[in-house]
Amino acid sequence: MNLTIADLKQQNLILLETVSGSRAYGLDTPESDTDMRGVFILPQDLYFGFSTIEQVSSERNDHVYYELGKYLKLLAKNNPSSIELLFAPKDTIVFQHPLMERIKPEYILSRLCRDSFAGYALSQVKRAKGLNKKIFNPVADVLPRPIDCCRIVEGSQTIPAEEWLAGHQMVADHCGLTALPHVRDGYALFYADDCDNAEARFKGLFRSDAIQGLSQPSQDVCLSSIPKGMQPRAWLVFNKDEFSRRLRDYHEYRNWEQSRNQERYQGTLKHGGGYDAKNMMHTFRLLRMAKEIAQSGRPLVRRPDREELLEIKSGHFDYEDLMIKADQELKQIDEGFSASRLRDEPDTDRIERWAIEIRKAWYAEMFLVSKN
């Protein structure tokens, strides 16, 4: 059985519902959507049966509701998105059931927040770096060919195979290869025109995609049966690792092109910084929240540094300067957690008791409602 967000509301299963995202952070602009996040509880029959549902989301994942058990497990891991719900600004809370008041932040926030908040921020930095690399190192939309990674050994030099073949007025389809013993990816290259047997047919340099029905080039050479006594024209080396890397980069770049957020990508091109400015903004938001937890045991969801964060989002800062700034903030976070009085880890026993107590109270209440 599946549950939709409409089902949660019609069946009164929601324990907490808040406006989240940029509007909760105070970072919204006129173009911002309204994201929602919350907590629900499974109907008793579903909970005791086989149909466990941990999360209900909208199609775009801008409205996300965690089942009580999953939510508390996330809190026990000091998950940033879940902790934000504990400290949601009052004006963002659409509904909160009194049972949720049993959840006390002082038993949850711990030194794990250093890694859960700052660690996730670091992943955003890496993501921004990855985008930086893709923007300034675009991959051509021509599918890599294995022959591009082949070279002919000639004396003390190596020559690109395609160039060598053209210089000798030879075509790849008339070539035959045999493996060279004890030489990794090394081959002896023979040419059909040198064969006295007119019926001899070599298989060419690479396997035929058309015959194999492949959607990408073969990643290996094709070996031929060579008549005895025939002399090779040259020695060929195929750099398989390089070809595999080029092919991987090609497909990763094409997938990125198709899946990237076009509006954000165009914004990145416009500000010219070479990084995803929205990701970078959230990097610094998370770093600041980690520092607040270390210092006061309470993150500020509604950001007091709104103007600076929006400037980062607008691409006003140089990429390298932001990297230096992020490193400085990480050092401050480490110093803060070293001196913090936070518990080493969440009180998981107490968190589990909350799950039991809230479920028992909820199901008992629903039983009374059904009886009446």
| Stretch 104-122: mean pLDDT | 92
Of the candidates 249, 200, 195, 203, the residue with the CA atom closest to the CA atom of residue 222: 203
Q: What is the pLDDT of residue 51?
A: 77
Give the tens place of pLDDT for each residue, 34-66: 999 999 999 988 888 887 899 999 988 999 999
Place of tokens 């964060």: 309
CA distances from residue 325 to 42, 171, 284, 337 in whole angstroms, order as listed: 44, 56, 9, 19
CATH class, domain 1-108+346-372, is: alpha beta
Say which range, 16-30, 141-155, 195-209, 288-302, has the weakest mean pLDDT.
195-209
Q: What is the pLDDT of residue 268?
A: 47
- Global confidence as pTM: 0.65
| Helix (DSSP H) and strand (DSSP E) numbers for the chain | 15, 10
Say which range, 39-48, 95-104, 190-199, 307-316, has the weakest mean pLDDT.
190-199
| Contacts with 329 (C-beta within 8 Å, 6 or more apart), sequence order | 284, 287, 288, 291
Give the tens place of pLDDT for each residue, 279-331: 889 999 999 999 999 999 999 999 999 999 999 988 888 888 888 898 899 99
Give the tens place of pLDDT for each residue, 4-41: 999 999 999 999 999 999 999 999 988 889 999 999 99
| Stretch 202-228: mean pLDDT | 71
Q: What is the pLDDT of residue 210?
A: 39
How far is it, in rounded angstroms, from Cα 154 to Cα 159?
Answer: 7
How are beta strands 63-67 and 35-40 bridged, if at all?
parallel
Q: 25 or 132: which carries more pLDDT confidence?
A: 25
How far is it, in rounded angstroms, from Cα 173 to Cα 193?
Answer: 12
| Stretch 225-253: mean pLDDT | 90
How is the chain split into domains, by residue range? Answer: 1-108+346-372, 146-248
| Contacts with 67 (C-beta within 8 Å, 6 or more apart), sequence order | 39, 40, 41, 42, 52, 53, 54, 55, 56
Strand order in the sheet with 150-154: 157-160, 150-154, 234-238, 186-191, 175-179
